[in-house]
């Protein structure tokens, strides 16, 4: 932590606020403290590098503050504090990560001073961003607009593998921006910007058209066409004409709609629950729906039965932590059970190790996707990868 960086603590408990600030000062760290949400936001500066946030406060709860921090694209590392159940803290942590925030730890009250000291100490050395591999970069609007004009968006493909047969069943299209100066820019740096600029529809059609065109290269010698999974933003789905436009595009590329999987995030669906008609129309045209990032939202369980989806995708945070964190393993098990009960296939993303693969297999997961098999690759490299993989997995 450089000398300019600051810690900010918000807790309605006077004792906690005093202890944290005293310890931080003793460790030579700059520390601001507040007991009210109002002044909290005034105290955030670009130098604020670590926030200690109490989840339960009378005026505004910590969840609300997390949302507001997410909206502000806050870059500070966050430590959650609470006297409540550890499960609640873990849920809040997921929510925060979902909002693009970086939660680096938690303190369950009453916590020993040593634990607080460890947390403050660990944060003396800035960590590389964890959840997202690529640091966020600020992109001026003009450059993003130019990217459309200059056709700078490209697609990388990641294979999806069946647990039962070991074969490649599909590929997920993951967008990248081939920036003239910055090189390859990852979607976390531009998708939300596109959304803000109200260009998501245009982006969606560019991506779909390119993917429908490129995926033909992955057809096997036996004529097997992998399913094409495309990420669709909820904002695109608000348009009642979306299913017909997509249908026409699929026809143009002579691509059967039943081989197209539209991935919609769980959190998006919650927001979207009023317009199930578009989803139903998509199903009527044989498009397949997949619920992405499953487990990161919270009120989905009830609605799930109404969504005509064929697949649930377990969010990679559960998969990656399932061996370290028992509650994540339980989530994985429950999601698989729930998906199967609703006659859906369950696919796990973010599978990086054999251990994870085996654990998922044991629990009846249907499909996997992750670095254990391959990262997302440009089309030509994906063709080579699929060829090599098929040669090794002929049955
Ligand atoms: P997502 O749909 O959840 O995609 C999975 C992300 O996890 C991808 O990140 C993928 O590269 C990464 N990943 C895959 N396997 C592993 C693994 O084993 N370990 C780890 N650590 N990561 C893995 P990516 O490509 O950066 O995409 C990020 C998100 O951006 C996607 O998350 C998706 O929500 C969004 N996105 C990407 N392309 C598009 C697009 O064309 N349209 C829309 N609307 N969203 C897109
Ligand atoms: Ca996805
Ligand atoms: Ca995900």
**Closest residue CA from atom 23 of ligand 1:** 350
Give the number of whichever ligand sits closest to the CA of residue 295: 3
- Retrieve residue 230's tokens: 């495309």
Taking only the tens of pLDDT, the chain with its 395 residues reads 556 789 999 998 887 888 788 778 877 888 999 998 889 999 999 889 999 999 888 877 888 899 999 998 999 999 998 877 777 888 888 889 888 999 988 888 777 777 887 888 876 654 444 344 445 667 889 999 999 999 999 999 999 999 999 999 999 999 999 999 889 999 999 999 999 999 999 999 999 999 999 999 999 889 999 999 999 998 888 888 999 999 999 999 999 999 999 999 876 665 655 567 888 889 999 999 999 988 775 444 556 777 889 999 999 999 999 998 887 898 899 889 989 988 999 999 999 999 999 999 999 999 999 999 999 999 999 999 999 999 888 64
Under 8 Å between Cβ of 176 and 153: yes
**Closest residue CA from atom 11 of ligand 1:** 376
- Retrieve residue 80's tokens: 């959650």
Dist CA 78 CA 106 (whole Å): 8
Ligand 1 atom, smallest distance to 186 CA: 26
Tell me how long the chain is.
395
- Retrieve residue 93's tokens: 């942590």
Under 8 Å between Cβ of 307 and 268: no
Sign of CA dihedral 328, 330, 333, 335: negative
Under 8 Å between Cβ of 165 and 159: no
Under 8 Å between Cβ of 310 and 288: yes
CA of 319 to the centre of ligand 2 (A): 15
Torsion of CA 253, 257, 261, 263, to 10 degrees: 90
Q: Is 69 helix (H, G, I), strand (E, B) or coil?
A: helix
The pLDDT value recorded for residue 133 is 44
The pLDDT value recorded for residue 127 is 40
CA of 62 to the centre of ligand 1 (A): 28
Closest alpha carbon to 290 in 301, 304, 302: 304
- Retrieve residue 78's tokens: 């966050």
Distances (CA, A) of 314 to 10, 86, 99, 101, 307: 33, 22, 17, 20, 16
Sign of CA dihedral 385, 391, 392, 394: positive
pTM of the model: 0.71
Ligand 1 atom, smallest distance to 156 CA: 25
To test the pocket of ligand 1, the residue of 94, 235, 349 to mutate (highest count of ligand atoms within 8 Å of its CB) is 349
- Block residue for tokens 């143009």: 252
- Retrieve residue 75's tokens: 């870059």
Q: At what angle do helices 62-71 and 86-98 cross, to 10 degrees?
A: 10
Closest alpha carbon to 107 in 55, 143, 152, 151: 55
Dist CA 172 CA 288 (whole Å): 13
CA of 7 to the centre of ligand 3 (A): 30
Determine whether the shortest distance from the Cβ of 201 to ligand 1 is under 6 A.
no
Closest alpha carbon to 242 in 292, 281, 288: 281
Q: Is 157 exposed, middle or buried, given 0-12, 13-18 or 19+ CB atoms closer than 10 A?
A: buried
Mind giving me the DSSP string for 82-127? ESS-HHHHHHHHHHHHHTT-EEEEEEESS--HHHHHHHHHHTTSPP
The pLDDT value recorded for residue 236 is 87
CB atoms within 10 A of CB 49: 20
Distances (CA, A) of 388 to 96, 327, 373, 377, 394: 40, 37, 12, 14, 10
The pLDDT value recorded for residue 136 is 60
**What backbone torsions phi and psi does residue 159 show, to the nearest 5 degrees?**
-75, 150
Closest alpha carbon to 237 in 195, 188, 197: 195
The pLDDT value recorded for residue 116 is 82
Determine whether the shortest distance from the Cβ of 158 to ligand 1 is under 6 A.
yes
The pLDDT value recorded for residue 348 is 98
């Amino acid at each position: 932590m450089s000398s300019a960086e600051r810690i900010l603590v918000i807790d309605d408990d006077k004792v906690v606020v005093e202890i944290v600030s005293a310890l931080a000062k003793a460790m030579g760290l700059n520390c601001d403290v507040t007991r009210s949400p109002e002044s909290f936001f005034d105290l955030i500066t670009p130098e604020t590098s670590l926030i200690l946030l109490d989840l339960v406060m009378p005026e505004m709860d910590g969840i609300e503050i997390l949302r507001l921090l997410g909206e502000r694209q806050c870059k500070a590392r966050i430590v959650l504090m609470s006297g409540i159940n550890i499960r609640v803290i873990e849920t809040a942590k997921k929510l925060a990560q979902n909002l693009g925030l970086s939660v680096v730890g938690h303190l369950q009250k009453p916590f020993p001073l040593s634990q607080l000291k460890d947390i403050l100490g660990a944060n003396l050395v800035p960590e590389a961003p964890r959840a997202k591999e690529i640091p966020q970069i600020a992109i001026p609007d003009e450059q993003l607009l130019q990217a459309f004009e200059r056709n700078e968006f490209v697609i990388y493909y990641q294979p999806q593998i069946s647990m039962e047969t070991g074969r490649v069943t599909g590929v997920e299209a993951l967008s990248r921006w081939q920036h003239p100066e910055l090189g390859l820019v990852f979607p976390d740096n531009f998708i939300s910007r596109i959304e803000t600029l109200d260009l998501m529809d245009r982006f969606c059609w560019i991506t779909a058209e390119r993917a429908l065109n490129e995926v033909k290269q992955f057809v096997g010698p036996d004529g097997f066409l992998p399913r094409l999974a495309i990420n669709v933003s909820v904002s695109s789905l608000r348009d009642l004409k979306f299913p017909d436009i997509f249908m026409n595009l699929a026809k143009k590329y002579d691509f059967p709609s039943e081989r197209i999987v539209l991935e919609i995030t769980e959190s998006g669906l919650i927001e979207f629950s009023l317009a199930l008609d578009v989803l139903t129309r998509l199903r009527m045209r044989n498009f397949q729906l997949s619920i992405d990032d499953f487990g990161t939202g919270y009120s989905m369980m009830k609605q799930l039965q109404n969504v005509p989806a064929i697949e649930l995708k377990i969010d990679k945070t559960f998969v990656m932590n399932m061996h370290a964190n028992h509650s994540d393993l339980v989530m994985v098990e429950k999601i698989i059970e729930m998906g199967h009960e609703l006659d859906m296939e369950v696919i796990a993303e973010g599978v990086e190790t054999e251990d994870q693969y085996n654990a998922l297999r044991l629990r009846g997961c249907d499909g996997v996707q992750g670095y254990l098999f391959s990262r997302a690759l440009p089309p030509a490299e994906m063709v080579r990868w699929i060829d090599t993989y098929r040669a090794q997995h002929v049955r």
